Structure 1
Amino acid sequence: MDHVAAVHAQWRTERPDLDTTPLLVIGRIHRVAAALTPELTAVYARFGLGEGEFDVLATLRRQGEPFTLSPGELAARTMVTSGAVSKRLDRLEARGLVERRADATDGRARTVVLTPAGRALIDDAMAAHVANEARLLEALGARDRDTLARLLARLAESLGA
Structure 2
Amino acid sequence: MPDSEHDPDALRRVFAIFNEVGIVAQLSRALFEARLPPGVLVPHFSILNHLVRVADGQTPLTLARAFQVPKTTMSHMVATVEKRGWVELRPNAADGRSKRVWLTPAGRAFREDAIAALTPDLATAATALDPAAQDQLLAHLETLRRFLDAARDQPNGSAG
TM-score, with length taken from structure 2: 0.68
1:108-123 matches, within 5 Å, as 108-123=97-112
The aligned counterpart of 1:98 is: 87
| Offset from partner CA, 1:12-54 (integer Å, 9 cap, x none) | xxxxxx97x74865654444333322112222x2375211100
1:149 to 130, 134, 138: 138
Q: CA RMSD in A?
A: 3.1
**Cα distance in structure 2, aligned partners of 1:92 and 1:25:** 33
Matched-pair contact (CA < 8 Å) for 1:55–1:78: no
The aligned counterpart of 1:54 is: 45
**Cα distance in structure 2, aligned partners of 1:156 and 1:113:** 26
Query: Which residue identity lines up with residue 98 of structure 1 in the other structure?
Result: V
The aligned counterpart of 2:63 is: 74
**How far did 1:157 drift?**
5.2
Structure 2 runs not aligned, ≥5 long? 1-7, 153-160
**How far did 1:106 drift?**
3.2
Matched-pair contact (CA < 8 Å) for 1:47–1:121: no
**How far did 1:129 drift?**
4.0
Matched-pair contact (CA < 8 Å) for 2:48–2:103: yes
**Cα distance in structure 2, aligned partners of 1:85 and 1:153:** 24
Matched-pair contact (CA < 8 Å) for 2:89–2:100: yes
1:11-26 matches, within 5 Å, as 22=13
The aligned counterpart of 2:32 is: 40
Matched-pair contact (CA < 8 Å) for 1:96–1:115: yes
SS in 1 for 2:40: coil
TM-score, with length taken from structure 1: 0.68
Distance 1:155 1:125, change over 3 A: same
